[in-house]
Amino acid sequence: MNIDTLIGSNRLLDHPFYRRWEEGQLRDGELSSYASQYRHFEAMLPDFLSTLVDQLDDADARQLVEANLADEVAGPQTHLELFDRFALTVGGTAQPASPAMAALIGAYDHAAASGDPSFALGVLAGYEVQAAEVATTKGDGLATRYEVGDDGCAFWRLHAEVEVDHAEWTLAAAQRGNTEAFIAGARESSTVWWAFLDEREALAVA
């Protein structure tokens, strides 16, 4: 399925916030604030995937999402633990979810509660089809522009690799369901992610 069909014009790497990240133009405090907010998503994701697994009747689709979930929580360190190493490196702290992050989490919660696994897979895909490329750019920018070491970059380096599989698995699982609902979910997801970056940019201007 063509990525433009899923995300429309909301290609995250085109957003001014990520362009400034890539160019080394983020101001003091922007990385720490971003990390503090993004953690809410990373902490929520395993529960979202677990709920989605329970809703999938098709055995092949369920196995694909289970593989995604296993990546999140297995290994010497979970993805959340790896993210916390990044957050610690850039000065992230525990903070309440911002309005845009609360809306983003709400979109995933709504998808999980909708009872429509095709729609929920779309919400998952709206970010995952972009995630490997985004993670690659983030990791490169952190290392070359902000002098973040391997420990702080490890989360993004890993996701630059595994998100290729996650996107393929999610798209394969979606082929077993309702294409229209899947695309609707992906569009909603890409929209709330774009809005989260809009919020980051607005705070920087303020």
Calculate the alpha carbon distances from 23 to 14, 52, 141, 157 in Å. Answer: 12, 37, 7, 18
Q: For residue 15, what pLDDT is reported?
A: 98
Domain ranges (residues) in the chain: 32-205
Residues of the chain with pLDDT under 50: none
Q: For residue 3, what pLDDT is reported?
A: 80
Structure tokens at 162: 């595994």
DSSP designation for 175: T
DSSP code string of 13-71:
GGSHHHHHHHHT-PPTTHHHHHHHHHHHHHHHHHHHHHHHHHH--SHHHHHHHHHHHHH
Q: For residue 196, what pLDDT is reported?
A: 98
Nearest to 80 by CA among 50, 127, 128, 43: 43
Q: For residue 4, what pLDDT is reported?
A: 80
Q: Which fold has domain 32-205?
A: Heme Oxygenase; Chain A (1.20.910)
Q: Is 85 exposed, middle or buried (0-12, 13-18, 19+ CB in 10 A)?
A: middle
Q: For residue 154, what pLDDT is reported?
A: 97
DSSP H or E stretch at residue 78 = none
